[in-house]
C-alpha cells in the first residue's frame, strides 16, 4: 500500500509494561511485534500499524494518531498558519522524523516522514 500525504498512517499508544502489553495483544489478537530498544515496540497484523511507547506517567489518553507527509517543514508551517500549535518539534527516530501538534480543539496528533 502506498503511503499518502495527509492520511492517517500509524497509531501509537502508551504502556507502563511493554512486555505485558505485547503478551496481551499477541495472545489475544495474534498481533506481531518488533522491539526497538527498551522503550518502544511496533506492532503489525492489526489492520493499521502502530506501536507502544513506554511511559511512567499516568496514562489518561494513551492513543496518538500519526499522519504521514513527505515534507515535514511544509506541513508544519501549514499547521501553524491554520492556528495549530506545535507541541513537540521535529525529531529523528529509527525510520524517519516526526513532530507533534495540537489542533484547535486540543487534540494532540503527530506527523511523520521517511524523507
Query: Which tens digit of pLDDT belongs to each residue from 39-87?
Result: 999 999 998 999 999 999 888 778 999 999 999 999 999 999 999 999 9
Average pLDDT score over residue span 1-19 = 90
Q: What are phi and psi of 87, to 5 degrees?
A: -100, -20
Q: pLDDT over 90 for what percent of the chain? A: 79
What is the per-residue pLDDT for 2?
A: 82
How would CATH label the architecture of 70-115?
Answer: Roll (3.10)
- Per-residue pLDDT at 39: 95
Contact 109, 103 (CB under 8 A): yes
Residue 1 pLDDT = 64
Architecture in CATH for domain 1-68: Roll (3.10)
CATH 3.10.180.10, the chain: domain bounds: 1-68, 70-115
Residues 6+ apart with CB under 8 A from 57: 14
Would you state the pLDDT for residue 25? 93
How many angstroms separate the Cα of 39 from the Cα of each of 18, 29, 43, 87, 114? 8, 22, 14, 21, 21
Q: Quote the pLDDT of residue 106.
A: 85
4 neighbors 58 (Cβ within 8 angstroms): no
DSSP type of residue 40: E
A 10 A CB-CB count for 100 gives 17
pLDDT at 33: 97
**40 and 53 in contact (C-beta within 8 Å)?**
yes
Amino acid at each position: 500500500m502506498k503511503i499518502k500525504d495527509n492520511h492517517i498512517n500509524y497509531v501509537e499508544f502508551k504502556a507502563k509494561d511493554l512486555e505485558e502489553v505485547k503478551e496481551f495483544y499477541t495472545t489475544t489478537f495474534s498481533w506481531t511485534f518488533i522491539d526497538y530498544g527498551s522503550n518502544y515496540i511496533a506492532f503489525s497484523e492489526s489492520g493499521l500499524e502502530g506501536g507502544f511507547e513506554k511511559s511512567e506517567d499516568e496514562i489518561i489518553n494513551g492513543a496518538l494518531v500519526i499522519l504521514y507527509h513527505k515534507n515535514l517543514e511544509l506541513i508544519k508551517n501549514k499547521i501553524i498558519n491554520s492556528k495549530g500549535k506545535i507541541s513537540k518539534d521535529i525529531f529523528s527516530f529509527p525510520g524517519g522524523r516526526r513532530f507533534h501538534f495540537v489542533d484547535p480543539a486540543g487534540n494532540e496528533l503527530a506527523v511523520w516522514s521517511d524523507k
